[in-house]
Amino acid sequence: MIKDELQDSISDKTARIGVIGLGYVGLPLIVEFALKGFDSIGFEVDEAKAREVNDGRSYIVDVTSETLAKAVGSGKLIATTDFSRLAECDVIIICVPTPLRKTKDPDMSYILTAGGEIQKYMRRGQLVILESTTYPGTTDEVLQPMFEEKGFKLDEDFQLAFSPERVDPGNPQFQTHNIPKVVGGVSDASTETAALLYSQIVDQVYPVSSARVAEAAKLWENTFRAINIGMANEMAKLCNALGIDSWEVVGAAATKPFGFMPFYPGPGIGGHCIPLDPHYLSWKARQHGFDSKFISLAEQVNSGMPEYVSELVREALNDDKKAVNGSKILILGVAYKKDIDDMRESPALSIIDLLRANGADVVYHDSFVPEVTFDHAYTIGDGDPLQNQELTDELISSSDCAVICTEHTTVDYDRVCSLAKVVVDTRNALSKDTRDCSKARIVRL
């Protein structure tokens, strides 16, 4: 039986692993398999990325070049743009992007392209796993029919499962091996084989009854975060109107040892998951005539935060009898979270767009991001690119307002406090408990 053949090859590590997409999810995953002794092939459409991998040079924060070079040097890892080599793989894992269209509907083109390549070179005896975040039903409604078109039958000729990616870029505490892995197959046998596979590289595997459950679990995780961040942002606005420090409020509430989990306000939500995943769930809900009000409201609040931050900047400048138009505004941090270079869906880009649209001279400092372009679908403008500026004393002191959008630990915030005229702090980087901010006027979110 195919199940026995696959499980035997996984157990004795003779199974060859293929991973489609070598980004923030796929590269750490394939490195783990290679370091555990599995022959692994990474598939990329980007020739430059494939070359970087084969040369042992990492381009993502969660995999060091030293670790990548070790995996490649062992002879267990190779990257290629030749998708015909999918036929060599016993296991194929799809780790491709799942963005939104401008209409905020799911863009399934990357999954469909990956599925089409697998269909083209598929052979009997393969396990296919989708890791890309998507709506419940994708694995059995989209991929399974594609493979059955070749005349293959589930469990007789191939197995199919979904296991949601769980990555937190830049978090040294949680990486691939110690993040529990949810696994749901289209069949019980597929669940069993996929769970066995991931148990080779992950400390804890949590099997569920179906691929749809696994797909829904991923969306639930990030929708939970989006809704609670939306509440934190709403509370921050309310506290500001009441003249209360929202960060002090949430800090006090977080002392409760039960029934409360702290979420913090910010300039908006970024990254590939939280801004997008709730839309996949609400889109699927609409297909079944269900109106997901919580999701819609949270999206409305979170997407409005860049406008709110821009208004805080306007008010701060107005207090100094200055207009946004013509003012020099320094943005501190443009990545979507601290200490990484990922700008996907970063609210800082929308804040820059809004300020420039009102005539501001905007500059930025982010040691992780050398250049910012504005040709992204999620920003409102298409202005000229900006280059990272060295954070000199002159840059800080010559700016009419500094806006902390990302609290990178590489920034000397004491120096910012001592030299800036006005600082709009959206991340509580200038905590009253730890810094002397008496020289600058601080506006907190």
Distance between CA atoms of residues 268 and 307, nearest Å: 9
Distance between CA atoms of residues 214 and 19, nearest Å: 19
Q: What is the DSSP letter of 339?
A: T
Distance between CA atoms of residues 61 and 72, nearest Å: 18
Q: Which of 95, 239, 273, 417 is catalytic?
A: 273
- 45 three-class SS: coil
Query: Any catalytic annotation for residue 273?
Result: yes
Catalytic residues: 273
